[in-house]
Amino acid sequence: MHYTSLNFIVLAALAAGALCETYRVEVGKDGLRYIPDTIKADKGDIVEFHFNAMHSVIAGDFKKPCTPVTSGGFYSGTLPMGDKSFFSITINNSDPVFFYCGVDDHCQAGMAGVINQGSDTLDEFKNAAKNSANSISPPATFGGTLGNSSSNMTSATMSSPMSTSPMATTTEASTIGNTTTSGLPLSSSSSGHQPGAAGHLTGPIVSVTCLALVVGGIFAL
């Protein structure tokens, strides 16, 4: 009986790991762009933003482009900085999440992207962003995990850090719809808007990782 239970635990762990993927997004690798800028990810999947030049990634308000969402979200800070070259978030649900670069006028120039695009499109977000007076960046990094090329992760929140699971597989980020080529804006002169606790994506409160799924499956047996 004990042997059978152990088999179920192993199978549950393998199944949970197989369902979680890590999607890589290049930031500023070829101008003011996120590559890809449109990502399709499932709950528990991880999105890693790898910074090739001084940029940022901020969860934005579709109705107010170049402005952070008022609830939940994330902010990477301006990267790379020191040995920190990427920012990792874990998807908590399938809701659309728009993001942009808060540096200078990069957002207005079209540096933006979306995770799980719905009826509101990235093209609409970018077109509206052209008329934004400025780009707003939160006062401090939150909602994700900072890391470097050696995969040393540092919490970007004041609570428990988000972390990638050792069982998650890294793939090129898949895209949906008609993907455009513009990227996210860097930090701008306007700041002071501080979103609340994480909502659409994991942060200090609702971290959902492949490892958590595995542990949940084990305790359920």
**Residues 138-166, mean pLDDT to the nearest whole number:** 64
* 193 half-sphere exposure, CB direction, 13 A CA radius: 25
Q: Which of 37, 104, 99, 93 is nearest to 62 (CA)?
A: 99
Find out whether 180 and 126 touch, Cβ atoms under 8 Å: yes
Burial environment of residue 54 by CB neighbours within 10 A (0 to 12, 13 to 18, 19 or more):
middle
Residue 56 has pLDDT above 50, yes or no: yes
Q: Give the model's pLDDT for residue 20.
A: 86
Mean pLDDT, rounded, of the chain: 75
Q: 169 to each of 23, 121, 191, how far by Cα in Å?
A: 9, 28, 36
Amino acid in position 51:
F
Residue 221 has pLDDT above 80, yes or no: no
* Exposure b/e, 162-189, CB count within 10 A at least 16 = b: bbbbebbeeeebebeeebbebbbbbbbe
3 state DSSP class of 91:
strand
The pLDDT tens digits of the residues spanning 167-203 come to 333 444 433 333 332 333 333 333 333 333 344 454 4
Q: Which residue segments constitute the domains of the chain, with CATH numbers given?
A: 21-208 (2.60.40.420)
The whole-angstrom separation of Cα 142 and Cα 155 is 8
The pLDDT tens digits of the residues spanning 116-151 come to 999 999 999 999 999 999 999 999 999 999 998 655
pTM of the model: 0.69
The whole-angstrom separation of Cα 91 and Cα 202 is 6
Q: Enter the tokens of residue 99.
A: 């993001």
